[in-house]
Amino acid sequence: MLIARAPTRISFGGGGTDLEAYYAEYGGQVVSAAINRYTYVVVVADGSQGVEVKGADCAGLGGLPLSGRFRASQALPRAALRHFGIERGLRLFIASEVPSGTGLGSSSSTAVALVKGLSSLLGMELGPAEVAELACELEIGRLGMPIGRQDQYAAAFGGLNVITFESEGVRVEPLALSPADRRRLQRNLMLFFTGSSRLSTTILRRQRQQTANATPVVLESLHAIKGLAVETRQALEQGKLDRVGELLDLSWELKKRLAADITNPFIDECYWLARANGALGGKVTGAGGGGFLLFYCPPARQAKVAEALRAKGLVRVDFDFDGVGAQVLVHNARVDLSTLRAGRRPRDEADGGLDLEMLKALRV
């Protein structure tokens, strides 16, 4: 058995600038933190003639076809298995502490956990940049998801980071926070589940298209959002944590200009209630439209904020920062690699298999 996990994330600024339609032209930057709400992948090598995938999003799927028609929830594990050339002999169980479509990056956390688990099963020692880039390749390159790249890097690296996106590559820099400021930041953050999820791809496709078309209001907003991410980094590293709350509020106002579906009357009401009761700022996590609300609020005012939002049906979710990133928790599987393949020729990239040259090029 092998058990791998990857954290989900919250972000403080820069969301949207990690889409290739933006960063390839202008460069992007996000400030984010991995949190201890995880996606788990359990791999059991049982020598069977097929591959079985079960879990929160794949319950009851039974055998996983590697070609032909397949359900949407099968797409990500299918792409990962094909990439590594695994065609039989495994049972996979995938479970997340975070519902899908709620803005904490659980889909990319799943991709990262799959890459970490399956590569470890095959005896590959991939670094976090390799894991993140391969997860991006699965989600964006193989499956055509209209998403950015921050979630995969946050999940693979863990910690609190500034992630810079350029056409030449991605750079991850840990935030220079003192232990005391890190603890204070954690105490000042509140996370609430609105009880609803959303299809983020609809919002992101529209945003990507408007960015590619150089729609003025979208481009101006993204430039300003990136500038606020730079300010957020400075505020965090200088210990001016209350300024982070103010910058979250400014970023939220800009984010709402990116697409009409990012907010709705219920989210607006909840946000107003939190601010009226003492939160300095906040945002909807992820693409918007539902999911989780993140607030920066001094501890003395948190009880009033929690009470006001609880009356609206929101549930507070406790969390802490994750400092490790994707990791293998258990690995006692003994696998003959030949049993994972069906005896055909070695698979190549065009065939959906493992591209060793690409992985070598990714090493840093």
**Residues tagged active-site:** 151
CA dihedral in degrees (68, 73, 78, 83; nearest 10)?
A: 120
User: In sequence order, what are the residues at sequence separation of 6 or more whose Cβ sits closer than 8 angstroms to the Cβ of residue 320?
Assistant: 35, 36, 186
Residue 285 CB coordination number (10 Å): 22
Give, in order, the Cα–Cα distances in Å from 257 to each of 16, 32, 214, 221, 281.
Answer: 12, 21, 14, 7, 17
The rounded Cα 11 to chain-centroid distance in angstroms is 10
The two beta strands, 51-55 and 90-96, are: parallel
User: In sequence order, what are the residues at sequence separation of 6 or more whose Cβ sits closer than 8 angstroms to the Cβ of residue 299?
Assistant: 187, 188
| 305/98 Cα distance (integer angstroms) | 22
Tokens of 185: 């930041």
| 148/20 Cα distance (integer angstroms) | 7
